[in-house]
Structure 1
């Protein structure tokens, strides 16, 4: 139950809010000065990245902003809503960031936790359903307003508990990365064993066939086919994350036709190692190769594992022919050396790797569920604390322990 002593106050009554600005971008004399100038790109929750841009005193004056003192709380309210951070060294900001100045009216350590929810409740939505905020909505927001002593207690409690939850989530993500690396290590071992006695060594172009000829994805026969692009494929695992049609993606430029079972490989940024097998007839982006193995030499399943292997990664990254955007061109792909075990040895290696990948995906699914639960509990904890639904001074089981208990019970 919410503590009846906690009233809410209009933000403009308890917060000193100022917003920065942007000087005309065509005036070079306004930029590259000595005043650090923050934009949304420089702001992540809890941290300020060293700003990429600076202003001159004239630029600051033209922006309508001010230099903010250390201890000021920043809140992003345009483009990316809800990022917060404390100013550590004097900076100015653009108009997408609201600055809450230190004052005796509110403890800013508490405000950092209370304001995102209060501002979100005051936000409107655009035609796409996304949250939007303006300065008037910020100032009209209702902020939970406990006594100052309790504000500090809440801030201390949330600082500690959320740090524990964040560390727990970081450990879970590390576990997911380790699961992927263990599978990669096993796959590498299986492929090494398979090729140890291989007598056939050739180049990839001799044993694969790459699709040619693009089609218009807006045509009726193609528009509702899945369109697979590099962003649909998980790096290094061969997993297809989702399917979206050409229509859903608004595709208009040429794409390749893909048959179910063909291998897809992203030629852009080969270090990401994005390859998968098409689960159905589809289209693929022009920055991907769609290919089939020549059946008398190798299987498509083995071809996929080769493309995901450390050995091929080393070749692809070394041979990438662009600096700004590394790319593996068709001729370079064709000249990749490949050792060919017997088809039976290929099948044995692939079967072992597939079993490991299934186990890995099950483990990562469990980890993803745990992360989702932790994030849900974190958000609920913040809301409960800042609205008085829990007494933060009472002894209770640490939130991370409660999350772990829930995960054990769910198994």
Structure 2
């Protein structure tokens, strides 16, 4: 049953006004998220390529996308700062289990950390033991997605939980000359991500080989400065990420409110006439 035409018009006018306000708020929050993400990227990129000392003398890095770097820094290939060769997970599809050892793939790598709510599934302890002969995760390891739409996205292991990884992920384990958190920030910088995009291949999907990853470079300061920069970026990015999370939550709540409002209005659960009258007082 449809309401009479005059009431349909009142409902339509009500929803146009109310959803218009909600949509405008959502658009503002989405713009805020975009601005904050750009700011985050700029803060990280500046710190890992120019350092925190504005007046420090610089030198030409020799790489166009890095430009000048502080005089005491070195441009180092990733393969030269790892304690073990860059590797990946098994190139086979394991049998999924209802429980067992968490098995992590590209979907779980985002926002700089491994999201165990988005794992591929679980594998048997037998498969885990077999896969671990090639690579066994440990705290401080860094993963880079090396195939698919999210190629280049990186995350660090922040847990001692036992798990394993699949072949779309390259595993980078830092050696004595590089602090994992500094390297993570470097790999997430705009300049490094540009270098990834310049070197990946296209087949059925974009991908980048482990040898290519190993030959990509980052500017590397002395260890003490790495620690200072990493601590600064952990603090600054955490603040930005918190505001981004609040804005994204506001967007989701607003979308839910919009959907509920439409449903309530078109099913007669809102007295649009009284609402309009109240609004006009």
The alignment's TM-score, normalised by the length of structure 1, stands at 0.54
1:262 aligns with 2:141: yes
| Aligned residue runs from structure 1 range 353-368, under 5 A | 353-368=233-248
Aligned residue for 2:171, secondary structure, equals: strand
Task: Select which of 322, 325, 330 maps to 2:210.
Answer: 330
Higher relative contact order, structure no. (Cα contacts within 8 Å, ≥ 6 residues apart): 2
Per the alignment, residue 187 of structure 1 pairs with 44
Q: Do the aligned partners of 1:217 and 1:223 also contact (CA within 8 Å) in 2?
A: no
The alpha carbon displacement at 1:264 in A equals 0.7
- Is the 2:108–2:119 contact (alpha carbons within 8 Å) kept by the matching residues of 1? no
Please identify the structure whose Cα radius of gyration is greater: 1
Residue 211 of structure 1 is matched in structure 2 by 87
What secondary structure is seen at the aligned counterpart in 2 of 1:293? Answer: coil
Equivalent in the alignment of 2:153: 274
For residues 279 and 217 of structure 1, the distance between their equivalents in structure 2, rounded to whole angstroms, comes to 25
Report what 1:36 is aligned to.
none
Q: Is the helix fraction higher in 1 or 2? A: 2
Distance 1:271 1:216, change over 3 A: closer
Q: Pairwise mapping of residues 385-396 of structure 1 onto structure 2 (< 5 A)?
A: 385-393=265-273, 394-396=276-278
Which residues in structure 2 correspond to 1:9-408 (within 5 Å)?
Answer: 9=1, 145-194=2-51, 195-208=69-82, 209=84, 210-211=86-87, 214=90, 217-218=94-95, 224-234=100-110, 237-244=111-118, 247=121, 257-269=136-148, 273-280=152-159, 281-295=162-176, 297-393=177-273, 394-396=276-278
- Evaluate the alpha carbon distance shift between residue 247 and residue 171 of structure 1 in structure 2; reply closer, same or farther with a 3 A threshold: same
Where does residue 64 of structure 2 map in the other structure?
none
> Do 1:217 and 1:246's aligned partners in 2 also have CA atoms closer than 8 Å?
no
SS of equivalent residue, structure 1 residue 381: helix
Unaligned runs of 5+ in 2: 52-68
How many residues end up aligned between the 2 structures? 250
SS in 2 for 1:260: coil
Quote how far apart the aligned CAs of 1:263 are.
0.6
Q: Does the CA contact (< 8 Å) of 1:198 and 1:341 recur in 2? A: yes
Unpaired stretches in structure 1, ≥5 consecutive residues: 1-8, 10-144, 399-411
CA separation of 1:397/1:363 partners in 2, compared to 1, >3 Å: closer, same or farther? farther
Q: TM-score if structure 2 supplies the norm length? A: 0.77
